[in-house]
Amino acid sequence: MDKILIHIGYPKTGTTWFQNKLYPHVNNITFFNRKVVKEDFILSNALCFDAETLKQKYSNQQSTILLSHELLVGGMIHMGGINGFLTKEFCDRLHSVFPDGNIILFIRNQIDIIVSAYNQYIRGGGNYSINKYLYQNSFDSLNKFFFFNFSFLEYDKIITLYKNKFGAQNVHVFLFEDFQKDPAKFITNFANKFNLEIDLENIDYNPVNTQFRKYLKPIFKFSNLFYRRAVIHKRYFFKFDNMHAKMKARYNHWNQFKIFGRFETPEEVLGKKNIKYINDYYKESNNKLVDIHNLDTIKQYNYPL
């Protein structure tokens, strides 16, 4: 088996685009899609995880193998990494099967990623307000672990975790903003770094997910009262679960039309108090990205510092 590439997320950093529009078009790798990775590394019970069986499965590949799933960082952002337990568990699982693996991790300005995660929560059926989504002060101790947790986006911690496990030379951290700024240039450099053979002229750089228009989100949140799925933490009065996929598709279509207003700014989604809290909260962690992990380029994109 040649080099092992493992793209672990974060969610809301373009991982779905990479899985759908880039990796399947790489000619010199064996790509294991999100469904396979989810079954092998995410869904299995921690007491039943069988590293030896997976070693045998993946050792049969002769070319470079690439695995990708954004939940490998510890789940969706509104799960908060389950207080770090999932983050550490998935890291241990990957290392037990691929001790020499190369880790690919994308990070994003915390203000922007929280806005994007909240929009995704609503698309997934949620309808909590932004404050109820962010803060769970009515719950004590363990019950808080299953909600959004600000510490999940302290990127220095997960980078240190993976560097200690896989070696600093095998952990590759990228900024989503670099990809967003010039996708074609970024992917050219990305392909060269990992020796990926891709017909770059045929790559579709259109984003997979978009933000909400201002007047569509309240309608979306209201309709989410009619079905239970697909997020755990929400309000619902009915269980017309078959409605969810239909309404989601309809709203994604309507989101193209300017009649539903302009796209919301981060300040409109979060509010001034939350913006200030987020800026203050991540200063120490982001300064460690610069001082310890040499990610000086985050300064260009207004990461809280």
pLDDT tens for each residue of 124-141 = 999 999 999 999 877 666
Say yes or no: 148 and 238 in one domain.
no
- Average pLDDT rounded to a whole number, residues 57-66: 87
- Average pLDDT rounded to a whole number, residues 171-175: 98
- Average pLDDT rounded to a whole number, residues 273-297: 98
Say yes or no: 176 and 202 in one domain.
yes
User: Is residue 272 domain-resident?
Assistant: no
Say yes or no: 180 and 216 in one domain.
no
CB 299 within 8 Å of CB 305: yes
**Percent share of the chain, pLDDT over 70:** 96
- pLDDT band per the 50, 70, 90 thresholds, residue 59: confident
Token output for 71: 């939940």
The count of structural domains within the chain is 2
Say yes or no: 225 and 194 in one domain.
no
User: Is residue 276 domain-resident?
Assistant: no
Q: Which amino acid is at 156?
A: D
pLDDT tens for each residue of 178-230 = 999 999 999 999 999 999 999 888 899 987 667 889 999 999 999 999 999 88
**Would residue 135 be called left, alpha or beta, if left means φ above 0 and alpha means ψ between -120 and 50 degrees?**
beta
- Average pLDDT rounded to a whole number, residues 77-102: 95
Q: Taking CA 107 as the corner, what is the angle to CA 229 and CA 116, rounded to the nearest 5 degrees?
A: 35
Say yes or no: 48 and 134 in one domain.
yes
User: Is residue 96 domain-resident?
Assistant: yes
Say yes or no: 237 and 102 in one domain.
no
pLDDT tens for each residue of 10-24 = 999 999 999 999 999
Residue 134 sits in a domain whose CATH number is 3.40.50.300
pLDDT for the residue numbered 33: 87
- 40 CB burial (10 A radius; 0-12, 13-18, 19+): buried
In the predicted structure, residue 62 carries a pLDDT above the cut 90 = no
Which residue range(s) make up the domain with 103?
4-207+282-301
pLDDT for the residue numbered 209: 66
Distance, in Å, from the CA atom of 223 to the CA atom of 236, rounded to the nearest integer, reads 9
- Average pLDDT rounded to a whole number, residues 236-252: 90
pLDDT for the residue numbered 1: 47
Token output for 300: 């260009």
pLDDT for the residue numbered 102: 97
Q: Under DSSP, is residue 67 helix (H, G, I), strand (E, B) or coil?
A: strand
- Average pLDDT rounded to a whole number, residues 143-164: 92
- pLDDT band per the 50, 70, 90 thresholds, residue 252: confident
pLDDT for the residue numbered 199: 87
**Percent share of the chain, pLDDT over 90:** 81
- Average pLDDT rounded to a whole number, residues 76-83: 90
Say yes or no: 124 and 168 in one domain.
yes
